[in-house]
Chain A
Amino acid sequence: MSLLSNQMSPARWAVLLAAVVGLELANRLTGAGTSLMLAEMLILAIFAASLNLLMSYGHMVSFGHAAFFGLGAYGFTLAVSRAGLPVELALLFGPLLAGFGGLVFGALCVRLTEIYFAMLTLACAQITYTVLFQWYDVTGGDTGITGFMPARFGLSEANFTTLVLVVLAVCLALMARLVASPLGLAIRAVGQDRWRAEALGLAPRRVQLVAFVISAAFAGVAGTLFAAFQGAAFPDYAGLGFTLEALIMVVLGGLHSFWGGVLGAVLFTQLRHWAPVLTGHWGLLLGIVLLIFVIALPHGVAALGARLGLGPKGDRA
């Protein structure tokens, strides 16, 4: 089942622990450049995991998930730069604004299904992007908001990366808890067959809305961290580019698996990091890798893990 349930086998605990220890060792033993790369990777892992929650369990495909990444970044940034709140308190406002955005947009989007749902999420995200881009007086427009705090809270590269690793672990633990909870089962039930779920007494739209808000809030956590990481917020954080990246990560990692988002984020950022060694044509490389994955490996890296006996056996959402 999930990370925290009693079906978590010792082998999987060992793999997980090794991954965390390995990441922290890589973070400490290599240079600041590696730490920065790892920090970005782990932040994107939170973002991709939040989308994976929505897609793999709720079966809702969002074309606008970056809206909540952007709202998270701006919620935090504006709380510091415009409202003058202390940074520690302002951190709360990222996920809060993202969750609120999820509530407003979600209430509209869950009225629709499948392709129309996706299209409305796209519209909502583009509206968010346009507001961030055009509302110069508040958001600074395309120049964004910069210089409101020292990047990474003034922490060293390695310490900030450790912080992100801890946040990622907490987020994943919360998600695993959610997936195994009665609410998580309801989300899965509605995702698999909304009519049957309704016949069983669930309110599909309400369950979907709750899932949407939770997913948005987690995306907001990622956005907040990213703004702190960069010491800046730009409208692009809410743009179509970030949405597509998150979708690609989920597909590369493996749809319908708890670890899909995280694994995909790792694969994607590593690919992007090392691509210049191979070729200057990142787009071409990514396109070809995507083609190979979709045609030959539709369940992503997670399925490879499952084949090796490490995967979440009962975890097919």
Chain B
Amino acid sequence: MIWVQLVNGLMEGMMLFLIASGLTLIFGVSRIVNFAHGSLYMLGAFLTYAFVPLIAPGTVAGFFAAVLAAGLVTAVIGTAFEVLALRRIYGRDSLMQLIITVALVFIIRDLVRWIWGPNSLMVPVPDALLGAWVVGETWFPLFPFVIFAAGLVVVVAMIGTIRFTRAGILLRAATDDRGMVALLGSNEKLIFTGVFAAGSFLAGIAGGMAAPYGDVNYLLDTTVIVSAFIVCVIGGMGNLYGALAGAMVVGLTKAVGVMYFPRLSMMLIFLIMAAVLVARSMGRQGGPAR
């Protein structure tokens, strides 16, 4: 049982990392705390629900194609928001930037309820992934492994892009010193938009991939964003590899905590986050950890 929960924890950690990576990259480059990132995740889940019956239903390839399509549509919506609204207020009070993303939270939640209704929806697991591996006495459901592996592929692709491509170099440079990047002749706006689009895409496919694993409902946005904040804070806002560690800590704590003290597992995660923050404050002063 504990092993099954560990696998679930790893899978949930991987999904959390996909969301949190977008959040932390956006923060790193533009210093914007995107409250709507959980909403983009939720949108990805609902869009996957809508696309699954359209694209070769029941097959593994069809499922991942639906997830990919959902991710792309989410990216388009996220980009539209960045270009039409967020871009107008770069350089303003950081609170205003936060509130404008809160506005998007309300809008997406209302639209999702409008289109899909208030009830929880189920996205079917592809037929081929319904089975389980039997190791000794334990049955390991196949689906979490596959999602974990798919998440890993995305993460490797993302880290590869960040490390080895020109876009990745610009992103890292902008995280370090965006003013300097602009001075050196790169289009700062394009970098911001690109990061926001990529982050939206990651949130969208994470929502889609995790959709069959639980209920899809319009309350996902706040639960997910709070978890993603915790992950980013544990890892240090703007720090990608820190977010990876944070995601695994949160995913595993949730999954294992549910077994031993179901009522307090969420509280434990907040306590970890508070402990990390307080410990950090005892060290050096201020500044995002990288």
Contact = CB atoms under 8 A, between A and B. Distances in A.
Interface of A: 55, 61, 108, 111-116, 118-120, 122-124, 126-127, 130-131, 134, 240, 244, 247-248, 251, 255, 281-284, 286-288, 290-291, 294-295, 298
Nearest to B274: A123
A290 to B, nearest CB: 4
Nearest to A296: B88
Interface string B48-70: 00000000000000000000000
Nearest to B238: A115
B250 interface: no
A284 B111 contact: yes
* Closest 10 pairs between A and B when the two form their complex, measured CB to CB: A283-B110, A287-B107, A290-B103, A111-B281, A287-B106, A283-B106, A284-B110, A287-B103, A130-B267, A294-B100
- Tell me whether chain A's interface is mostly helix, strand or loop, or mixed: helix
B256 interface: no
Given A255-B93, A291-B100, A298-B96, A116 B277 contact: yes
Contacts of B237: 115-116
Contact of A283 (B107, B222, B280): B107
Given A244-B102, A287-B106, A294 B273 contact: no
21 contacts: A61-B98, A108-B274, A111-B278, A111-B281, A112-B281, A119-B273, A126-B270, A130-B266, A130-B270, A134-B267, A244-B102, A247-B99, A248-B102, A283-B107, A283-B109, A283-B113, A284-B106, A284-B107, A290-B100, A290-B106, A291-B85
A251 B277 contact: no
A288 B27 CA distance: 24
A58 to B, nearest CB: 13
Give the interface size class of chain B: 35 or more
B222 A248 contact: no
A127 B106 CA distance: 24
Interface of B: 27, 33, 85, 88-89, 92-96, 98-100, 102-107, 109-111, 113-114, 222, 226, 229-230, 233, 237, 263-264, 266-267, 270-271, 273-274, 277-278, 280-282, 286, 288
B114 A281 contact: yes
B33 A294 contact: no
Given A122-B226, A123-B277, A281-B114, A288 B266 contact: no
Contacts of B107: 283-284, 287-288
B114 to A, nearest CB: 7
B280 A291 contact: no
A17 B277 CA distance: 46
A290 B99 contact: yes
A294 B114 contact: no
B271 to A, nearest CB: 7
A127 B103 contact: no
